[in-house]
Structure 1
Amino acid sequence: MSHRPPRHVLFMLCDKVNVLDVTGPLEVLSQPCRLQADAPPYRITVASLQGGLITTSAGLRLDTVPIASVEMRSVHTLILPGGGAGYVPFAPQALVDWISMHASGIARICSTCTGAFTLAATGLLAGRRVTTHWLAGANLLALDPSLQLEADALFVADGKFWTAAGVSAGIDLALALLESDLGHQTAMQVAQRLVVFLKRPGGQSQFSQALRQQSQEGALADLHGWMAANLQRELSVAQLAEQAGMSVRSFARHYQRKVGMTPAKAVAAMRLEAASQALAHSKRPLKAIAADCGFGDEQALRRAFQRQFGIAPASYRARFAA
């Protein structure tokens, strides 16, 4: 019986890389190689421009091979981990240039966390759907305003380019790659071995909406605090604009630019977050939670949970109740 040649996965590292951005996806993709030792589905290489020891942001040193020793024609998937101080580009220009030179010959190119900055710096992501760590979204758009940022996604695939959100979302991305390559059963087996969800049932959002939105400075921070305290109200764009002391048109434009989503989507996300917290940390009836969080009735709450999480509110409570 003939076996498919293993897909060659290349991790490209540079100093100050995040440990988990490397080891999370690496652990996921190495698991099926242990499960299928007679015909491993992946060949994994961890490289850097010069080779040798790379110092991670946590101080741990990882050994790498020099990229010059890698046969690039064999590389199927490139993974660019994030890292550095703050949510800004941290990779050297030499790495950006190297990616630009070799990208056309690589079937799949991925980034995790702020690795999206490295990929965006090449121009290869221009106009594409992307994500990154939720704290880094505004900086990424400043680097390339043409990007279609999906700020609440754990990972996004647009053509051969895959981008993952902050740190642990690299595991979600790697599981999705594995499922695409080897099928649902193998991906589920690996997820079970690692004691993680294949697809997080708590929703595909990478952060608490209320926490993220209330971290905004100035007028929007005050507005988001008011929104969180008044979810049972209508919270129309006109009402929010009035609360912010702006015209509707100016408010909608300003909000989208600062937050990365429309006011309506932000309200919906905050309501869902509040309902999730109420289900997990209280025994209040669904009807009362739906009313307090602005869903109006129980049916609307059920539809929202089914659409976002794929499970009913009662199932969510059973799984996540404190």
Structure 2
Amino acid sequence: METSSSKKKIVIIVMTGNMLVDFAGPSDVFTQADSYLMQSAAHEATPSGYEVLITAPTMDRTIKTQTGVEIHCPYHAMEINFPVDTIIIAGNNFNQNNDSALEPFYKWLTATYKKQSVRRIASICGGAFVLAKAGLLEGKKATTHWELSEKLKRSYPDIQVHANQFFVNDGNIYTSAGVSSGIDLALALVEQDFGKETAIHVARKLVFYLSRPGFQAQFGRLLPVYESVNIAGKIQKWLQEHLHESLEVARIAAKVNMSTRNFTRVFHKETGMPPAKFVEKLRVEAARRFLEQTNTPLERIAEKCGLGNLVSMRRVFLRHLSVTPSDYRRVFRTALKDPAMEDVLFET
């Protein structure tokens, strides 16, 4: 197996069932960086850069993507017997039927990590579960797609899950969140390897932020969906209808005919948070919807959602989302307004 010896080898191992951008995005980042470095150092005999290898985790070398595209790779992971700079695990299909076919891959990944023969190992989206299963994340900080963060916590309690970040590194292990966050991570690795100028050039080429607004925060739901038997599920609709009012714990407890002390105890046990924090997150979620779907002034949104004034709403948004309300609207504003949202806002 012959490869260029002068460039950093980036091996992207693609798990079956992924979106194309899970691996195509990072691959494009490294490929564009290599092209830029080649042009910048055209006079050098052995210019530095990247060599990207798309690799399958199974011996049939075949990857079936979520979009229906089937990819036949030149290698499977177990054939990687040459020096590698970075291994990136793209996604995870969570298909238990593939466990036996993936056993050699997991053994190879664990052995590769233990031999410390690779400078960096990274994951994209559900790829964090692959690293965890191979034993690479024990006691480490990690992230994954916001929809999978609770599952990662439950499945691997020893991992310090940072659910709100685009990417996290702990030593030489890097994990990134969902889909496009793999591009964020790839750009950060390019900057680490060849400096900010190269990373900026690639980001401009791809029409992508070098560092996205929000201090690298994901923008998933702040609250899970609670079943009707959960105390939060019982009162959530009522709370949403009264966000513009004062919602002291005693008032909420009275709504469910409980003492303040008992309500607080039960609520914390069933949701993992105090009632006041739950209400604050509901208010932020409501404000997000208005920011996304209406032209309503920020001050009016703050008032309607019970967030006080613009200053206090800004402070709460920074605490929960690491982004200001105005920046959030700029990034997530839909092109199609929902007239019903305007009606809801101004009905009182």
TM-score, with normalisation over the residues of structure 1?
Answer: 0.79
- Please say if residues 287 and 298 of structure 1, whose CA atoms lie closer than 8 Å, have aligned partners that are also in contact: yes
Decide which of 282, 301, 313 is 2:313's aligned counterpart. 301
Residues 88 and 139 of structure 1 are in contact (CA less than 8 Å); yes or no, is this contact kept in structure 2? Answer: no
- Counterpart residue number, 1:58: 67
Partner of 1:252: 268
Contact 2:215 2:323 in 1 (8 A): no
- Is 1:11 aligned to residue 20 of structure 2? no
Match of 1:292 among 304, 312, 316: 304
1:33-112 matches, cutoff 5 A: 33-37=34-38, 38=42, 39-48=47-56, 49-50=58-59, 52-64=61-73, 65-72=75-82, 74-84=83-93, 92-103=102-113, 104-112=116-124
Does residue 24 of structure 2 align to residue 23 of structure 1? yes
CA contact (8 A) 1:279 1:316 kept: yes
* Residue type at the aligned position of 2:34: C
The count of residues paired between Structure 1 and Structure 2 equals 312
CA distance in structure 1 between the partners assigned to 2:317 and 2:327 by the alignment: 10
Distance 1:310 1:68, change over 3 A: closer
Among 162, 180, 195, the alignment partner of 1:168 is: 180
1:130-209 equivalence runs, <5 A: 130-201=142-213, 204-209=216-221
Deviation at 1:223, TM superposition (A): 4.5
Structure 1: gaps of 5 or more residues: none
1:243, CA displacement in angstroms? 6.6
2:315 is paired with a residue whose SS is helix
Quick one: distance in 1 between partners of 2:255 and 2:283? 18
Counterparts of 1:156 and 1:78 in 2: how far apart (Å)?
16
Question: Partner letter of residue 99 of structure 1?
Answer: L
Greater shift in the superposed pair: 77-86 or 262-271: 262-271
Q: Which secondary structure state, in structure 1, belongs to the residue aligned with residue 55 of structure 2?
A: strand
- Tell me how far apart the structure 2 counterparts of residues 231 and 158 of structure 1 sit (CA, whole Å): 40
Q: Report the residue type matching 2:84 in the other structure.
A: V
**1:32, 1:84 → 2: CA distance?**
29
| 1:257-287 C-alpha deviation (Å, 9 max, x unpaired) | xxxx776666555444433443443343332
Q: Secondary structure at the match of 1:287?
A: helix
1:114 aligns with 2:126: yes
SS where residue 78 of structure 1 aligns? Answer: strand
Partner secondary structure for residue 36 of structure 1:
helix
Give me the whole-angstrom Cα distance separating, in 2, the residues matched to 1:292 and 1:89: 50
Q: Which amino acid aligns with 1:77?
A: T
For residue 271 of structure 2, give the secondary structure of its aligned residue in structure 1. Answer: helix
Structure 2 residues without counterparts, runs of 5 or longer? 336-348
Report the 3-state secondary structure (helix = DSSP H, G, I; strand = E; otherwise coil) of the residue aligned with 1:209.
coil
Once the 2 structures are TM-superposed, how far is the Cα of residue 304 of structure 1 from its aligned partner?
4.2
CA distances 1:219-258 after superposition (whole Å, capped 9, x unpaired): 24454444544444566777777778764344324323xx
Change (3 A) 1:285 1:111: same
Residue 119 of structure 1 and its aligned partner are, at CA, apart by 0.6
RMSD (Å) for aligned C-alpha atoms: 3.6
Q: How many angstroms apart in 2 are the aligned matches of 1:142 and 1:292?
A: 36
Deviations 1:119-147 (A, max 9, x none): 11122212222222223223322321122
Does structure 1 conserve the Cα–Cα contact (< 8 Å) formed by 2:140 and 2:159? yes
Decide which structure has the larger Cα Rg and report it: 2
The more displaced of 26-35 and 274-283 is 274-283
TM-score, length of structure 2 as denominator length: 0.74
- Alpha-carbon distance, 1:307 to partner: 6.3
Counterpart residue identity of residue 54, structure 2: V
